[in-house]
Chain A
């Protein structure tokens, strides 16, 4: 059964604005929410700093201090860090080899393809054991 990522329109719009502002560099962040049977519900998308200033056009690494702050905030609000989002400037919204190398199972990985015109595609993926990334459906 295909899993579903519930991403409210306003969080989707915030993410798209960050993605467009960062272009042609990558933008990244975390998703706070709840995991339920068969679906993940995002309560808040949050932007974090990209430590990869040396290759900001095609790499991201979330600042661990930003990660920790987000996880602490999630715990205070009874939420979990349920996913990661990042952008692919001028590349499709599919996981790259670099994405595969660093991925952790259990999270939703939202990828936004972005060009000079803004976000052109938004897709979500989950690492599923040995099978690699499987796409999950994004719904509002």
Chain B
């Protein structure tokens, strides 16, 4: 288990009492997000889908890399890693 920090994007801070960072102990990305979900009700459903994978409109980065390009939710975490939840920001004029 490693001590890691999860960065919470502004639109989800309503679920974390306004906190922009949450520290958890976890060995993988999946474990870290599960721990976040246990501590702050409602946030996990906004981040992962029913299969436990990152939702379509959410990216999860560890050390500046998208976990979709790594091992997904099984991506291992090292002591001091920062896991960033990044909302997909999109739209357009038509």
Interface size on A, residues (CB 8 A): 39
Contact across chains for A62 and B64 when beta carbons are under 8 A apart: no
| Chain B residues, CB < 8 A from A91 | 93-94
Q: Report the minimal beta-carbon distance from A48 to chain B, rounded to whole angstroms.
A: 9
Shortest beta-carbon distance from B53 to chain A in Å: 16
CB <8 Å contact, B94 and A68: no
CB < 8 Å: which of B89, B90, B93, B94 contacts A87? B93
Within 8 A of B (CB), among A61-78: 61-62, 64-65, 67-68, 71, 75
Select one of A57, A88, A101, A102 contacting B89, CB under 8 A: A102
* A71 in contact with B9 (CB, 8 Å): yes
Residues of B within 8 A of A81 (CB): 9-10
A88: chain B residues within 8 A (beta carbon)? 92-93
Task: Please list the 10 inter-chain residue pairs (A to B) with the smallest Cβ-Cβ separation, ordered nearest first.
Answer: A88-B93, A59-B92, A104-B11, A99-B91, A58-B94, A61-B90, A91-B93, A62-B89, A102-B90, A106-B11
- Residues on the A chain within 8 Å of B14, using CB: 106
B29 to chain A, nearest CB (A): 15
Query: Does B86 lie at the interface of the complex (its beta carbon under 8 Å from any beta carbon of A)?
Result: yes
A-B contact pairs, 5 of them (CB 8 A): A58-B93, A59-B90, A64-B66, A64-B88, A109-B91
CA of A89 to CA of B93, assembled, Å? 7
CB-defined contacts of A68 to chain B, threshold 8 Å = 61, 64, 84, 86
Q: Does A60 contact B (CB under 8 A)?
A: yes
Instruction: Kindly state whether residue A136 has any CB partner on chain B within 8 Å.
Output: no
CB within 8 Å of A: which of B52-94?
57, 59, 61, 64, 66, 84, 86-94
